[in-house]
Chains A and B, each alone.
Chain A
Amino acid sequence: MKNRTQITLSIVALFLGLLIAIQLRSANEVYSAVPDLRVTEMRAVLMETITQNQLLTRELEETRDKLRQFEETAMQGEGILQLIKDELRNARMLAGLVDVQGEGLIITLTDSQAASLPGDNPNVYLVHDEDLLKLVNVLSAAGAEAISVNDQRLLATSEIHCAGPTISINNVRVGAPFVIKAIGNPETMESALRMRDGIIDTLNFYGIGVQVKREANLVVPAYKRPLRFDYARPVTGGQ
């Protein structure tokens, strides 16, 4: 073999070796981007946070119960106070601070079971915040009096917002399947949902599973998180 040939071949061989080494390392790093140890560690942190969260929720409920007891003892026996108490109860119901029960619908939304085709956007097979918003809006329009999504009571200030793979409602992340409970006239609400080209038709088009069940007596839970107003204050002085 001539010298020149050897050198030419060597240059390309050098390049080849370089490519192999770089690719080898890149491939290794893709797989080890999140080491197992880190995953375990992070899972432990997550579990701890969840437990703490549950504990605090329980504490909040207890405190609120105590407050209610105080209010009740303060109002006992007084005729005029009974009226105020009734009004307070109505206001609490409207604000979503008490569990309410009555007839209504339970709607279950599940992500599409259809196998996604290569090149398909997997997003269209998932339940999105917009889907939930539209559904809840239709229910409200049909006269629903209390609505909850995965046991998160919807208030005037509730958001239904995309949060990565989950949806944030009342600042709590919830995931599929979504169980929506609505108290109201079941017939009106169901026909509003099942309107031709309505919300259920649209969701079915994307393969999202929608189950509607009428319930004679269902319970919509109360709002369980702290109520705070940092900016809004009532207007006083009869303005």
Chain B
Amino acid sequence: MLLPIIALVLGVILGQLTSINIPPALSPYMSVALLAALDSVLGGVRATLENKFDDLIFFSGLLSNALLAGALAFLGDQLGVNLYMAAIFAFGVRLFQNLALIRRLLIDKWYRQRK
């Protein structure tokens, strides 16, 4: 479990070192991309705890989620409606669901170890 956390910190440092700037107009895409990544990480952790992690499912899920969310944000931009909210909402719900499952799995594991 240590390596992903190290990678996260490394990513933050790398982001600080680069000088990429996102224009404010792209902030919907940025929020959607952030949530897609966050959702994938939590989903991956959950799948690992359930012992059914699969590279292909993981990456294809990340890619398709990000693509759909980006397409929604783009369509919303064209129509003048905040459609990217739909993606944020869906990702948000999934985040909490995944977190709840991870919590249950960890607690289960802990109980089993004590017995």
Contact = CB atoms under 8 A, between A and B. Distances in A.
Interface string A3-40: 01111111111111111111111100110000000000
B40 A12 contact: yes
Interface residues of B, number: 38
A137 B5 CA distance: 71
A164 interface: no
Interface residues of A, number: 28
Contact of A16 (B20, B23, B38): B38
Interface in B82-115: none
A176 B16 CA distance: 45
Contact of A5 (B40, B48, B59, B80): B48
B34 A17 contact: no
Contact of A20 (B1, B34, B58): B34
Interface of A: 1-2, 4-26, 29-30, 119
B22 A22 contact: yes
Tell me what chain A mostly uses at the interface: helix, strand, loop, or mixed: helix
Given A9-B41, A25-B21, A20 B15 contact: yes
A9 B15 contact: no
Q: What 4 A-B pairs come out closest when comparing CB atoms?
A: A17-B11, A21-B15, A10-B7, A16-B37
B4 A23 contact: no
B53 A17 contact: no
Interface in B17-63: 18, 20-24, 27, 30, 33-34, 37-38, 40-41, 44-45, 48, 53, 55, 58-59, 62
Contacts of B44: 5, 8-9, 12
Contacts of A21: 11-16
Nearest to A16: B37
B12 A20 contact: yes
Contacts of B23: 26
B34 A16 contact: yes
7 contacts: A8-B58, A16-B8, A16-B38, A17-B12, A18-B14, A22-B30, A24-B15
A26 to B, nearest CB: 4
B33 to A, nearest CB: 6
A11 B44 CA distance: 12
Given A12-B41, A29-B21, A6 B16 contact: no
